Amino acid sequence: MAFRAPVSEFTFLCEHVVDFDKVAATEMFAEATPDTVEAVLTEVGRLSEEVFAPLQRNGDLDPARLENGVVRTSRGFAEGFRAFADGGWMGLSGPAEYGGMGLPITLTSALNDMLSASCLSLGLNPLLTQGQIEALEHHANDEMKALYLPKLLSGEWTGTMNLTEPQAGSDVGALRSRAEPKGDGTYAISGQKIFISWGDHDFGGNVCHAVLARLPDAAPGTRGISLFMVPKYLVNPDGSLGDANSLRVVSLEHKLGLHGSPTCVMEYDGATGWLIGEEHKGMAAMFTMMNNARLNVGIQGVGVAEGAYQAALAYASDRKQGRTPLEGKPGGTGSIVDHADVRRMLATMKADVFASRAIALACAVALDMQKATGEAEWSARAAFLTPIAKAFGTETGICVAETGLQVHGGMGFIEETGAAQYSRDVRVTSIYEGTNGIQAMDLVARKMMDGGEMAYALLDEIETCAEQARDRMPELGEPVWQATETLREATEWMVAQGDLNDRFAGSMPYLMGFARVLGGYYHLKAAMAEAETDGPRTRLARFYIKRLLPQHQSYLAEAVEGAADLYALSVEELSA
């Protein structure tokens, strides 16, 4: 099956659903004209179809391997990455003063979506470098920016982030890596890091590691953590590469999926590092990378969902199995796509891909508006949407990939079809960059420290749209309005809880309920933008609103139950 980049879908979303016109109207992003957007999306689509998609199976069948201390990547990956870098795509949203294009994050989000759909293992590499670029842009001194940003933006060098240690996963404050001042402005970094995606490769250039470590006088917990730039090769003042640094890849992790992406155990043995930002302020800089990554990981989920959906649709359209209800009738194909349950699965996949993609792009638009205007409202909106985009995008990727296996039937369990690879590759996305449970806890705690102000602002926006839709399409507008009221009541309950554990107990179903309602909102906007009175987008919106939106009721009923019943069974009773 040939992958088809959903360029027209991004164009429609930008023009009619996620308010990208506001971004293009700012002085900062005035160059993001419709012609420019169309040209960027078209070229990225061609790259994903012609370069990345043919590498998808290579990454799974010819995985990265460690040979004599050198990471050898999957067949064709080095050439695929070079095509990406030579096109200037690493710097799509990077600062123009260091060689980037300075275009909106929304376009980079579309790029990451299409690369993830075509080959997630390789598409993960640019995502990490993009995050490091943003961290350096916000926190590094001018000398470090001038030395590293042009190389990273060109794709000549790549970046990583090193947080996790064997004893310190989500609890970053438990890390033990050390940083000793050397007296010359540099630091000796020692320690071991695990789960370092693309910690090394054979693409050439330098691999620039952003490493969290503790100074000798550091306070315990996250308050005592600093961030350091520790390159694979030392960098001379003119930007040329010097001697190898004192670091190495100990081993590659053996993973469920993403076999083409080398996930490294890294060891630093007095490696030379340079401070990024201020001493003991490393978490602020690292969170710049992580927040960038959280949105992009959600987008990875959406991208894989797109790839899995296209594979399932192609298979269902070709596979003939028994007599179908549309046999010999107009529109009938004689293939399993005519069966009601197969049609239900495919429609669910398509509807949820649209909903999760719209949420992610709406978040990206908010980030662009925050950058262009500096307005606090856009900052709060982006912060609120980020955990929803990450969690719902990855949950969608997992569910759509699993449904794709079901559409394939027994052939989905056979590796030769490639259907199982989507499921294996996407599974980690709900775990890394903060598990989805952590995203949900962040949503109901930190993101509601404003008393729910941003949540209520979004609900008011959705209800305004639903009220406008009532006259033209009441069967769609009314259910969205009612769902928003139910979500408002659940939000009021969340805000009223003084015991955060009661919020946490229902945080994941609350997040999923909020995402369901947002999905209904964006489907409704799509239907309202359609010229036809009952066109394909309206029919897809009707499917989502009638069949999937009602799930918000069960999610939100669970969300407001509190924590008591979770602890009613003791650990001993759970073990009985």
Active site residues: 433
Q: DSSP alpha helices (H): ranges in 409-550? A: 419-426, 436-444, 453-472, 474-496, 500-505, 507-529, 536-543
Q: Distance between CA 393 and CA 404 in Å, rounded?
A: 16
What DSSP state is assigned to residue 165? B
Supply 17's token pair. Answer: 């659903």
Q: Distance between CA 304 and CA 144 in Å, rounded?
A: 35
Provide the b/e sequence for 306-317 (b: ≥16 CB within 10 Å).
Answer: bbbbbbbbebbe
Q: Are the C-beta atoms of residues 189 and 268 closer than 8 Å to each other?
A: yes
Nearest CA among 291, 495, 507 for reference residue 385: 291
Q: Distance between CA 128 and CA 372 in Å, rounded?
A: 23
Backbone dihedral region for residue 251 (phi beyond 0: left; psi -120 to 50: alpha; all else: beta): beta
In a 13 Å sphere around the CA of 180, the CA atoms on its Cβ side amount to 8
Taking CA atoms, 389 is separated from 10, 299, 337, 361, 489, in Å, by 16, 8, 30, 9, 22
Provide the b/e sequence for 87-114 (b: ≥16 CB within 10 Å).
Answer: bbbbbbbbbeebbbbbbbbbbbbbbbbb
322: Cβ contacts below 8 Å, ≥ 6 apart: none
Q: Distance between CA 523 and CA 234 in Å, rounded?
A: 51
